[in-house]
Chain A
Amino acid sequence: MITPAALANIRVALPSRAPGTNIPVVVAIVGGLLIAAAFLAFVAAHWTDLARLVRLAILLAGIVGAHGLGAWFARAGRPVLADLCAGVGSIIFGAGIALVGQMYHLGGDFAGGMLLWAMGALVAAALTGSRGVLAVALVAASLWSSMRIFEIPDVPHFSFVAIWFIAAGLALAWNSRVAAHLVALAALPWWITTALQVGLEPSFVLADGAAFLFGAGLALGVAPWQRASSAGAVLSIYGAFSLAGVSILEVATANDLFRTHAGTVSQSLWAISSGVAGAIFAFAVATTTRRAGAAFAGIAIGLVLLAAAVWSTPQAGEPWRAYAFELCAMLCLVVSGMLDSTRPRIVAGWLGIAGVIVAITWAVKGSLLHRSMFLAVAGAVAIALSLALNRLLPRDHE
């Protein structure tokens, strides 16, 4: 039993609960969203009846109103609602660009509109500290970059990288894991669309991108600055999952049916450098911190890059070496995660192993019997290795 006096003492001793997102707040958010939707539907129904300047005034008032409400919530100590309002303000800003373009017959450069949206949202994110606005800015910037990549399909769109670094700077300044996740996520569409450019081997460029993200994340993760190490840990998670995804993709697209290039494809220097830099980062971390986990991560990166390089060369028959490299790489990823006690990396490695085995088993080309033999031999080697390690390594429990 707790006496009333003890209860009062406990309440005094405990810090007051921060006004976060509780049930009344959630209900209030839903109510606010419904009212906003009703208002939008009403305005949309009468949009063409309104004078142009009235329409413009509604758009501008929407932006000012959303940010004003955000400021009010921020002042009242309601950061989630403030973030939400700033996000809504930036979405209205994006809609405003489209509608102003329509009202003033400015249609044409859609990608340019996306860039304007990204810039406006990025400035708002920097000022308000809103993660929602940062997400809006990165989505707009990714759309802009993708459109420009398809307009100029033989030159990488490096302008996006500048915006990405600004966003990364904000994530560091805020010391926010959410922002770090958004920034890491935003790197993926750029690498994917870039990999699809003319004259590049997609799997190799994707492998380079995953290697760079993973290696740079590991290097940032051991930085003495807490903000950098926290952001680096997030980047390395995305890097590990990307590496597993690329590994599966490489095996799945090994078949000639999926190969777009019949001849030798020249790889661009920037892509190769990114991949090599990723591996160097991982081994540098292993050397400086004397962590075996980072060394295994470096080996995983190196094996995936090597497999991608093997694949770039046209060859007859099934690429057994590459299959073996991918399996070893994913095994190294699991071991790396176990040694560093990093669960996401372990999960990425297991998913990679499962995906690679599935991709080998269901490959369209070649003999199923040969693939069965390959998997059996690989399994036997793994069990032999396990037995050897069991004898060599010290045991935790007797």
Chain B
Amino acid sequence: MIETSATSFAELFARIPKIVLFGVAALVQVALLTLMIIDRVQILREGTEVTLQTRPLDPRDLLRGDYVVLGYDISQLPAGSLLNQPTGTSNPMVFVKLAPNRDGLYEAVSVHADAVAVASPEVLIRGRVAHGATCGSSERAFCDKLQIRYNLESYFVPEGGGRKLEQARNQRKLTVVAAVLPSGRAAIKRLLVDGEPIYEEPWF
């Protein structure tokens, strides 16, 4: 029964012209790549803009070409109420509530294991704990300090452009405007040096 069905299905499949099958395969792969870009466009278009202060970091990673590694003041945070709470994984997802200070730069208010309601101008950004989720006897609890990644940590620049940005970053002159969706997903929208835009991310 199964053999007959499979054989008839194979015969049916064999009747489809090869160009159609290969064409659909190419279309699927092109569509998946396009979806990656469209997903980012959605964040840039609909996300709330938050300005984040960068902080000095080690020099660039030579293995990944000319790009700037960005660290933020919100990258290292105290666990607060999450301290000693079970994590489930070594890199759990967390939500950080941000609020603007007097200079308009967004700062972390609190860290949460799940999404929480925020009131404007507060923004909730989603990140993944890179270090700080392997404490406790079971090594599966939040530590007192968390290092969090928001998918905003690398910015690829034209060759030779990285050095200038690194200098600005190390002098704390570099700020990043990120777009954040209500779900907490974020993307880099603009880079500012001394408050002046130097890189504006086009949608495509």
Query: Chain A: residues with CB nearer than 8 A to chain B?
Result: 48, 52-53, 56, 59-60, 63-64, 66-68, 70-72, 74-75, 82, 86, 89-90, 93, 96-97, 100-109, 116, 119-120, 123-124, 127-129, 133, 151-154, 172-173, 225, 227
Contacts and interface: CB of A to CB of B under 8 A. Distances in A.
A163 to B, nearest CB: 16
A128 B40 contact: no
Nearest to A133: B25
A97 B37 CA distance: 10
Given A71-B23, A105-B155, A107-B154, A151 B28 contact: no
A377 B128 CA distance: 59
Contact of B187 (A82, A103, A105): A105
Nearest to B9: A173
B187 A124 contact: no
- Give the residue among B6, B9, B22, B23 with the most A Cβ atoms within 10 A: B22
Contacts of B116: none
A159 to B, nearest CB: 14
Contacts of B2: 225
A356 B67 CA distance: 51
B25 A97 contact: no
A106 B22 contact: no
Given A71-B23, A86-B22, A173-B6, A97 B140 contact: no
Contacts of A82: 18, 22
A104 B40 CA distance: 8
A60 B30 contact: yes
Given A48-B158, A66-B26, A116-B36, 10 more contacts: A56-B204, A63-B30, A82-B18, A101-B36, A106-B36, A107-B154, A119-B32, A133-B25, A154-B140, A227-B6
A59 B25 CA distance: 15
30 contacts: A52-B202, A52-B204, A53-B204, A56-B204, A64-B26, A67-B25, A71-B19, A74-B18, A82-B22, A86-B25, A89-B25, A93-B29, A93-B32, A96-B29, A96-B33, A97-B32, A105-B152, A105-B155, A105-B156, A105-B188, A107-B151, A108-B153, A119-B32, A123-B29, A124-B29, A127-B21, A127-B24, A127-B28, A129-B21, A151-B91
B96 to A, nearest CB: 16
Contacts of A56: 33, 37, 204
B10 interface: yes
Contact of B3 (A86, A105, A107, A225): A225
A7 B108 CA distance: 87
Contacts of A172: 6
A153 to B, nearest CB: 7
B149 interface: yes
A59 B2 CA distance: 41
A298 B89 CA distance: 38
Contact of A97 (B9, B36, B89, B204): B36
B66 interface: yes
Interface string B59-98: 0000011110000000000000000000011110000000
Given A68-B26, A124-B29, A48 B159 contact: yes
Contacts of A103: 156
A49 B112 CA distance: 43
Contacts of B159: 48
Contacts of A66: 26
A330 to B, nearest CB: 36
Nearest to B161: A48
B204 A106 contact: no
A67 B90 contact: no
A70 B29 CA distance: 15
B10 A75 contact: no
A380 B152 CA distance: 69
B37 A67 contact: no
Contacts of B9: 173
B30 A151 contact: no
B148 to A, nearest CB: 12
A104 B30 CA distance: 16
Contact of B19 (A75, A96, A106, A123): A75
A143 to B, nearest CB: 17
A48 B21 contact: no
A88 to B, nearest CB: 12
B29 A127 contact: no
B50 to A, nearest CB: 16
A346 B26 CA distance: 44
Nearest to B159: A48
Closest 7 CB pairs of A and B: A71-B22, A67-B26, A124-B25, A74-B18, A108-B151, A93-B29, A71-B19
Nearest to B203: A104
A10 B201 CA distance: 70
Contact of B37 (A74, A104, A107): A104
A128 B23 CA distance: 9
B25 A64 contact: no
A141 B67 CA distance: 28
Given A105-B156, A106-B36, A108-B153, A48 B66 contact: yes
Contacts of B29: 63, 67, 89-90, 93, 96, 120, 123-124
Contacts of B19: 71-72, 75
B126 to A, nearest CB: 11
B30 A116 contact: no
Nearest to B28: A123
A106 B41 CA distance: 12
